Structure 1
Amino acid sequence: MARFDRYMLSQLMVLFGFFALVLVSVYWINRAVQLFDRLIGDGQTALVFAEFTALTLPSVIRIVLPIAGFAATLYVTNRLSTESELTVMQSTGFSPWRLARPVVYFGLIVGLMVAVLANVLVPRSLKQLQLREAEISQNVTARLLTEGTFLHPTDGVTFYIREIAPDGRMNDVFLSDRRDPSESVTHTAASAYLVRTDTGPALVMINGLTQRLSRPAMQLNTTHFADLSYGIKGLIETNDSAPPLLRHFSTYELLTSPVHIQVRTGVSAGVFTEELHARLSQPLFALTVALLGFATLLSGGFSRFGVWRQIVLALLYLVLIKALESVVTDPVLSNPARWPLLYLPALIGLLLAAALLARAAGQLPSLSAWRRRKAALS
């Protein structure tokens, strides 16, 4: 690799790391807030919260990496153009095609990262996340045995424990069940124990009071009890019967067992094909946006006013490619035989980048040159 290639590639990688860190942090904070409300509100520990956020990171990184590569390419190209480094290299005989070589290396590196994430790491992390969610939803202790906090294990149910003794006894228990629209039942007890029965876990309350409010008569009945057993199996939402999701399978499994996976997940052939080829096309998109950003800025040439117009134009190209991705998705979902359409946005971006590089090299006339030639001929 030539010295200029190493220099520019190192600049791209440094800025790529910076933009990736910033964008991942923004996405991660947004998702972490939602996870924090859900997990901590259900009585989970900070360790579980950290585990869940770590399992969501591969999905976030996969989305962010191409955008970070695009931003790094724009920044480095703009800086090299402003400091006339690209102009000096062109004056020494470097063509735009030659200048684009380190950008191609950079795009391939980012594309390789996206390929590993999209085809291996993201499916594994999502599958592990589903397993952990199922385990936590079955964990009665984590969901209910939290002292000093009003918990809502399911809609219409409120549970509170003032204190949990070392022997497992719960002191001063409050349980409100409002799931039945015709009545509201509130149990209060001096102490309670969590036991296992043949029909599932149950809460045995000692020395308490039951208040039953009937609607719409608004009649209140109270009952004092020495002990009362309350089944809490219905308070715990389990995912035992949930079928596996298509996104939980690796790309290798999708390629080797397509029929088996479609039967297990219950998805149509269009959904299966779209998921498979969308994963395979994402690395190509990473290469496309990096090369397109460089070619757009280089095609503007040197200007003392900077390349802000080319930066805006590059952003518009990126938006158009992303919009085209959403356009080609529906035809593939309706007809799996149209799967090549999923590669069309990235290929159009590559062709556009090649056209811009050819224009910068003088191999394609600009619009103004074409108009002058037309005026001269007329």
Structure 2
Amino acid sequence: MKTLRRYIFREVALSVGFATLAFVALFFFFDMVDELRSVGVAGGSYPLSTALLYVLLRQPQHIYELLPITVLIGTIFVMARLAQNSEFTIMRTSGMGPWKALGTVLILGLLFATGTFAIGDYIAPASERAAQIVQARQFGPLSAGATGAWLKEQQGSDAYAVNVRALEPDGLMRGVRIFGFDADGHVLMTVHAQQGRFNADGWDLTGVQRNVFAHPASDQAQVQRLAEDTWHWPTQITPTMVAASLLNPQKMATLDLFNYVRHLQANGQSAQRYEIELWHKVFYPLSCLVMVVLSLPFGYLHFRSGGIAGYVFGGVMAGISFFLLNNVFGFAGNLQNWSPWLSAAAPGLIYSVLSLAAFSWLVLRR
């Protein structure tokens, strides 16, 4: 039985690796064509080599997104080929019953799920940060539209609204604005700083213009205007939180997303979009388990010649539909304010029901 499992593992791993390589090569071509439009821009300082490096650094994110699909395609191809060559029939007569076959593919799916999690949580975020640094050095700092990133923080009874216009690759913030309010909603201070850097216990700002407001018993507020070269603002807002408001949450690690969601919830901000993405990060690797179970019934089909191409095409369509369903439920959950975990888990649950139904009908009952 160990020999049979090793054989299946090897064949599936080779098939999934080939399918992943083919899809990544296709995405690499599309990304490179899109990036070639910027070569020579930025004063001619964006060479082809830099564009190639940027595109290469973006590929781990594509691998993470494609793995459940390629796992389905590769496993379907192997199972259909084993059935066509009667190899799977021999395995069944050698003692590999339906439950042992299911356990074999579940172990395989668990390995793929672990790899998917490792790529999506460690390799892809680091690679995306490196890609952003490469691009920022050519086209300027990270920014979210014309207004930049907005964050909130509660410090005791006082509330602060913070705006960062742009973030440099080395962590330098540009165009920092801070607005402080007391418990009654009165403005305590406004701060405009040209630059800022992160510190262990706050931000070190330079080129600072501060307006400090005093609210005496009378209705006349008093304003003190201060111009300072440097000023330290104690805050718990970390570089990861600022980057999170500027970057796509799909490209963040699970722990970073979790900390950012807690920060948003603690300060009364909407975290629906980031909660859905957080749960998506949790459930997405587990979809590899669903895909291998969905492919198992193909080993029990009876055909002698041809037909593999049709089944592989069906696997491609099923994989694409799963990818689209993930996006649809993510957008719908954000718009309709659905439960975040349900929005993220629904596609996997739907395909789990389909895979178990196919396994029950084609394997256990036939």
What is the letter of the counterpart of residue 89 of structure 1? M
Structure 2: distance between partners of 1:341 and 1:37: 37
Q: Which moved more, 1:351-360 or 1:60-69?
A: 351-360
Bigger mean CA deviation after superposition, 271-280 or 350-359:
350-359
Alignment TM-score, normalising by the size of structure 2? 0.62
Q: Residues of 1 paired with 2:270 and 2:18: CA distance?
A: 40
Number of the residue aligned with 2:347 = 345
Match for 2:326: what amino acid? E
After TM superposition, the structure 1 = structure 2 runs for residues 201-350 of structure 1, keeping only pairs within 5 Å, are 244-247=246-249, 248-260=251-263, 268-295=270-297, 297-299=298-300, 301-304=301-304, 314=315, 317-333=318-334, 334-335=336-337, 337-350=339-352
Deviates more, 1:100-109 or 1:309-318: 309-318
| Aligned counterparts of 2:263 and 2:9: Cα–Cα separation in 1 | 44
Alignment of 1:1-378 (within 5 A): 2-42=2-42, 43=44, 44-138=46-140, 244-247=246-249, 248-260=251-263, 268-295=270-297, 297-299=298-300, 301-304=301-304, 314=315, 317-333=318-334, 334-335=336-337, 337-362=339-364, 364=365
Q: Which amino acid aligns with 1:2?
A: K
Letter in 2 for 1:254: L
TM-score (norm 1): 0.60
The offset of 1:251, in angstroms, is: 1.1
- Deviating more after overlay: 108-117 vs 353-362: 353-362
Cα deviations across residues 151-207 of structure 1 (Å, max 9, x unaligned)?
Answer: xxxxxxxxxxxxxxxxxxxxxxxxxxxxxxxxxxxxxxxxxxxxxxxxxxxxxxxxx
Structure 2: distance between partners of 1:322 and 1:96 = 28
What displacement does 1:262 show?
Answer: 7.6
Give the number of the structure whose alpha-carbon radius of gyration is greater: 1
Q: CA deviation at 1:319?
A: 4.9
Write the deviation string for residues 287-337 of structure 1: whole angstroms up to 9, x where unpaired: 212221222x135x3233555575566555445544543442244213253
- Decide whether the 8 Å contact of 2:64 with 2:119 is kept in 1: yes
For structure 1, which runs of at least 5 residues remain unmatched after alignment?
A: 140-240, 366-378
How far, CA to CA, are the matches of 2:36 and 2:340 in structure 1? 41
8 A Cα contact 1:262 1:269, kept in partner = yes
Query: Residues 26-65 of structure 1, C-alpha deviation per residue, up to 9 Å, x if partnerless?
Result: 1101101211221344422333123211221111211222
Letter in 1 for 2:22: V
More moved, 20-29 vs 98-107: 98-107
Rounded to whole Å, the distance in 2 between the matches of 1:250 and 1:32 is: 25
After TM superposition, the structure 1 stretch with the greater mean CA deviation from structure 2, 127-136 or 54-63, is 127-136
Alignment partner, residue 186 of structure 1: none
Query: Within 2, Cα distance between the matches of 1:262 and 1:35?
Result: 37
Partners in 2 of 1:25 and 1:79 — Cα distance?
25
Distance 1:132 1:17 in 2: 28
AA in 2 matched with 1:38:
S
Q: What is the SS of the residue equivalent to 1:283?
A: coil
1-structure distance, mates of 2:48, 2:58: 16
Tell me, yes or no, if the aligned pair for 1:9 and 1:105 is still in contact at 8 Å.
Answer: no
Residue 130 of structure 1 deviates from its aligned partner by 2.5
- Pair 269,314 (structure 1): closer, same or farther in 2 beyond 3 Å: same
Q: CA deviation at 1:84?
A: 0.4
CA contact (8 A) 1:100 1:294 kept: yes
Give the Å deviation of 1:14: 1.1
The Cα shift of 1:3 comes to 1.1
Deviation at 1:343, TM superposition (A): 1.0
**For residues 29 and 263 of structure 1, do their structure 2 counterparts lie closer, same or farther at Cα, with a shift above 3 Å needed?**
farther
Separation in 1, partners of 2:28, 2:15: 20
C-alpha contact (below 8 Å) 1:321/1:345 kept by paired residues: yes
Residue 88 of structure 1 and its aligned partner are, at CA, apart by 1.2
Identify unmatched segments of 5+ residues in structure 2.
142-241
The residue identity in structure 2 corresponding to 1:329 is G
Alpha-carbon distance in structure 1 between the residues aligned to 2:303 and 2:260: 56
Alpha-carbon separation, structure 2, partners of 1:122 and 1:109: 18
CA contact (8 A) 1:277 1:339 kept: yes
Assess, with a 3 A threshold, how the Cα gap between structure 1 residues 262 and 114 changes in structure 2: closer, same or farther.
farther
Deviation at 1:23, TM superposition (A): 1.2
Q: Secondary structure at the match of 2:302?
A: coil
Instruction: Give the paired residue count.
Output: 260
Counterpart residue type for residue 108 of structure 1: L
Matched residue SS, 1:118? helix
The root-mean-square deviation of aligned C-alpha atoms, in Å, is 3.1
Q: Distance in 1 between matches of 2:52 and 2:78?
A: 35
The equivalent residue for 1:233 is: none
Specify the alignment match of 1:183 in structure 2: none
- Work out the percentage of aligned pairs sharing the same amino acid: 23
Structure 1 residue 11 displacement after superposition: 0.6
Following the alignment from structure 1 to structure 2, what is the Cα–Cα distance between the partners of residues 311 and 318?
10
